Structure formats: C-alpha cells, structure tokens
Structure 1
Amino acid sequence: MEVINQNILDVTMLEPRQKHPTIFDRFDQLNDGETLTIHNDHDPKPLYYQLLGERGNIFKWEYTEQGPRWWKVNITKRSSEENGETIGEIAAKDLRKAAVFKKNGLDFCCGGKKTVKEACLEKGLDIVKIEQELQQANEAPVSASLPYNEWAPGFLADYIVNVHHAYTRKNLPEIRGYALKVLRVHGKEHPELAEIQRQVEVIYEEMMAHMTKEEKVLFPYIKDLAAARNQSQLHQAAHFGTVKNPINMMEMEHELVGAAMHKIRTLSGNFSIPEDACASYSLLYKMLAAFETDLYTHIHLENNILFPKAVEREKQITDNGSSCKY
C-alpha cells in the first residue's frame, strides 16, 4: 500500500513491478508547476533517465535527501514557458556558445539536460550576465571547427571511436601510472593525491568498460538505424528494446566519470602545480587537464548530438512501420 501525504509517494511500500508505472501515473496527473515527492531506500537515478527518455525534458529533479538510508526527490512538472532549449542543445548548435558555458563552469556535457536558467541557478551565476555573453557570442567569428552536428550518425560514431576512444585508450593508462607514482613519492606532503589516484582508477575502470559497450553494442545498432529504411531491415536485433535504454545507461556512466573528473579538478586546485612538484607531478596534472578537455568534447558529441540523432531515427523507423498498410 502506498503512503500518500501532500503528494508524497513512499516507493518502498510498492511491489517492484508497480514502482515505475505508479510513479509515471502520478507524474502524468500533475498540473504545470505541481510537485510529486518520492521516498526510496536507494538512489532513484535510473528513474530520472527513464522519465527523461519517455516524457522528455518537462520536469525538474531535486534531491532533498541523498542517503545513506533514504533518498527523497521532488519531481516538479515544468510549466510550458519553462520548456526551453537545454544547454546541451545550445552547445550542439553553436560551439561559440559552448565556449561561454565552459568559461563559466557550466557543464553542457553530463549536465546538458538543464536549461540555461536552471544551470545558472544551480551554480549561483547571474543569468542576465550569461544571457548577454551568449548574445555576444553570436557576433563572434565562426571558427573553422568541425561540423559535428551535420554529420551522419554512423560517421560521427566512427569519428568518436577513432579520435576520442583512441585518445582515451592511449592516455588513460599513462595517467593511471603517473597518478600511482606521484602518490607514492609525494603522498605524505600532499594527502589529496590519494583521493586523486582513487578517482583516476574510477575513471579508468568505467571508461574501459564503457567504450567496449559502445563499440560492440550501441554504435553498431546506431549504424543499423541510420542505414535501415524500416524495422525489418535492422540487421542487429534490439534485445535491449528501444535505443533509449542503452543510451540512458551510457549517460549515467558519463555522469559518473564527469563527477570523478570534477573531484580531481577540485582536489588539485584546478590542476595547479605545487612548488615542490617533480617532473612527473607536473606531467600528471598537465595530462589530467588535457584529458578533461578531450573527455568533455567526447561526452558532448555523444550526449548532445549522436544520441538524440539515434533516438529521432528510431522514432522515424517506428512511425513509418506503424503507418504501413498490409
């Protein structure tokens, strides 16, 4: 039996198979601006991605408690006026504006599902100032950057593998080795190095498995989607159901890696090399800074360009199939 009080839903009182359908039903009943509060005994983040995938960017998600025993989340249905472009969508259309987000510390990769207003409020930034900078970016000359948004999904997937996956596989093992070496030599004087090394391990383990899943499962299916005229032409059976399911998982893993990278930046004082640093210490921080730059471009290309193209292509194929006359 569910416990309801002032639009509160205690998910722990529901059978597992009833949880997400009940939450979706309760969310659909909300009027614009109304909030559903859910209580759970574990982080309901998978629900966030399912809700985003099936309902779109029409809600706000705010934790009021995050473990270790209970998680409480306010899910508020946006008003129609609030459903503007996300910073990820803006960055995908214009890299000049992506530069504005980067300069102001606004995450348009892992955090790209937020509107400019939401991202600014979260960071405590003056939204008027940011909007002015975005307007000024329109006047800046267009750089000779690659036209990622114009590329076909299959071509973009191959580019990500050959450029960003290759970069990660080449440099991350080296970073891992230097992180351990520098910890052993300088850990006593710089205790933050222990946590930096631990976060490097998190990134290494996550990215190596993550890239393999993309290359073996998700990217080949995206290529099939791009090439197929209808559902019957898909060569690879979608055992995972809709393409949104593996995409949701990849985006969750992006968030995990992005959070680890943010911790490293914070612990290192924005990769500030200390006075007593040896050559290996200096090299580690320089490699981490370069890796972060590549990682954010890598995630941006997937979250904000490749994945939306794949979802839209699957929808086109499904719609065409449902309209066929037999």
Structure 2
Amino acid sequence: MPLDLDHCTVGEIAARLPGATDILRRYRIDFCCGGQRSLREACAQRDTDPARVIEELQRLATGMHTAVAPAEPTDLIEHILQRYHEVHRQQLPELIRLANKVEAVHAGHALVPAGLAQHLQTMQAELLAHMEKEEQVLFPLLAAGGSPMARFPIGVMRQEHDMHAAQLRRLHELTHDLTLPEDACHTWRALYRTLQQFVDDLMQHIHLENNVLFPRFEAA
C-alpha cells in the first residue's frame, strides 16, 4: 500500500520508504526521537516548506515498494549491535582526539568549535552506559520474546534517546552546523567529515530502535 505522506508519522516514513532518511536528514528533520510527529508538524518546527519535502519523498516513492523491517527481532538486534554499537565505540575516541587537536591548534579562530571535545566526552560516557544497558538487560529480554516487563526499560531507552538527540543539537551549535572555514586544515576537515558520519549513524541507530524494534514489543 502506498504511503500517505500527509498522515504518516516521520518515523513511519523513515522506516518504510527506502532512501527517505537521506532526504529527512538534509532538511534536518528529526526522524528518530521526533518520529511520532506528522511530517507537516516536523517541517513547521524546522520552518521548512512541507510541500518541498513531500515532493522529494513522492519522487523517491515512485516505482518503489515499501521496505519491510527484518522479520525476526533477533536479526534486527544483531544488526544494531554490529552496525551501530560497535561502530560508535570506534568512532568516539577518534572524534575526541581530533576535536582536542583542532581546539588547541585553532584556539583563536572565529569558527573553532570550542568545547566540542568535552561535549563528545560527555556523549561518549552516556552513550556507552546506554548501550551497555541495552546489551545486558533490554536486548536479551526482547530476543527471548519480550514480556510485559519490557515496557519499562523501553521507556527508559526512549528517554535516553531524547537526551542523545538534544546532545546532537548541541553538537550542531558548537560546530556552526558543521560549517568549515575556507582555511580549515586537513585535521579540521577530517573531524567534521567523521562527525557527520557519527551524527548520521546515531540518528539511524535511534530510528531503528524507536520506530522499528520497540513498537513490536510495546504493541504486544
């Protein structure tokens, strides 16, 4: 059945329309923690014309079938663990190292992301603790078929996802929306390129949990 873009939530669009996340990211529309809003509500928050976004999504949907999430929750959980949990553990130490170097070398530059390294260290500590709780408590519970008890840890994870989304917004503020100065050195460019990948990965990670994995057990 074709997606009704006027009535679907942003999370549904991201989950069911292949390639939609690229469009939503380009318009800075939050489809992970803000996935329960309608597309028009999300566009209004970003002061974006919803007609433009809908037009792009409709072009994308032409001739496409909607994407089906993995049939087995255990497969999706394993994908999240390998593609996102392990990748975040590799990304953050390097990002912190690069941010410290850029802040030290370019301390007097008008566009230096002052405070970014400390912010990333905070994100690292909180994200590692969050992933540990999923790996030790929630994911084994879901992989075993879930239970009414799963609603509480899922609710906690959703709250922490909201916190991660707020941290991503702060990251954009510190980096002036990842805007590089014309005279940026190779390290600065590598930092923002890697940061963009981290932001994209974390948003997709949260989206898969909030809008694909968790609803299967919340509705049970």
Normalised-by-shorter TM-score class: 0.7 to 0.9
Return the offset for 1:191: 6.6
Give the structure 1 partner of residue 49 of structure 2.
126
Superposed CA offset, 1:193-234 (max 9, x none): 2232232122111111011001000100000126xxxx6xxx
Q: Distance in 2 between matches of 1:246 and 1:158?
A: 18
Partner SS, residue 149 of structure 2: coil
Return the offset for 1:303: 0.9
Partner SS, residue 81 of structure 2: helix
Greater radius of gyration (CA) = 1
Give the structure 1 partner of residue 17 of structure 2.
94
Q: Distance in 2 between matches of 1:120 and 1:300?
A: 18
Name which of 239, 250, 259 aligns with 2:166: 259
Cα pair distance change 1:198/1:148, threshold 3 Å: farther
Q: Distance in 1 between matches of 2:102 and 2:145?
A: 46
Which stretches in structure 1 are left out of the alignment for 5+ residues? 1-82, 232-240, 316-326
Q: Distance in 1 between matches of 2:131 and 2:182?
A: 37
Cα pair distance change 1:278/1:224, threshold 3 Å: same
Superposed CA offset, 1:260-281 (max 9, x none): 2222223323323223433322
Return the offset for 1:192: 4.6
Partner SS, residue 149 of structure 1: coil
Cα pair distance change 1:290/1:98, threshold 3 Å: closer
Give the structure 1 partner of residue 59 of structure 2.
136
Letter aligned with residue 87 of structure 2: Y
Letter aligned with residue 167 of structure 1: V
Give the structure 2 partner of residue 164 of structure 1.
84
Cα pair distance change 1:288/1:99, threshold 3 Å: closer
Q: Distance in 1 between matches of 2:26 and 2:187?
A: 28
Give the structure 1 partner of residue 189 of structure 2.
282
Name which of 63, 69, 74 aligns with 1:154: 74
Q: Distance in 2 between matches of 1:126 and 1:156?
A: 34
Aligned pairs for 1:16-27 (under 5 A) are none
Q: Distance in 2 between matches of 1:95 and 1:113?
A: 18
Aligned pairs for 1:104-115 (under 5 A) are 104-115=27-38
Partner SS, residue 48 of structure 2: coil
TM-score, normalised relative to structure 1: 0.60
* Aligned: 1:175 with 2:95: yes
Which stretches in structure 2 are left out of the alignment for 5+ residues? 1-5
Identity of aligned residues (%): 33
TM-score, normalised relative to structure 2: 0.86
Give the structure 2 partner of residue 308 of structure 1.
215
Letter aligned with residue 96 of structure 2: R
TM superposition outliers: structure 1 runs of 4+ over 6 Å: none
Name which of 172, 177, 183 aligns with 1:270: 177
**Hey, which of these two has a bigger chunk of helix by percent?**
2
Give the structure 2 partner of residue 74 of structure 1.
none
Q: Distance in 1 between matches of 2:56 and 2:183?
A: 39
Equivalences, count: 215
CA contact (8 A) 1:202 1:257 kept: no
Q: Distance in 1 between matches of 2:125 and 2:76?
A: 24
CA-atom RMSD in angstroms:
2.4
Letter aligned with residue 310 of structure 1: F
Q: Distance in 2 between matches of 1:172 and 1:150?
A: 28
CA contact (8 A) 1:96 1:142 kept: no
CA contact (8 A) 2:102 2:112 kept: no
Give the structure 1 partner of residue 3 of structure 2.
none
Give the structure 2 partner of residue 207 of structure 1.
127
CA contact (8 A) 1:120 1:126 kept: yes
Superposed CA offset, 1:17-38 (max 9, x none): xxxxxxxxxxxxxxxxxxxxxx
Cα pair distance change 1:292/1:142, threshold 3 Å: farther
Give the structure 1 partner of residue 139 of structure 2.
219
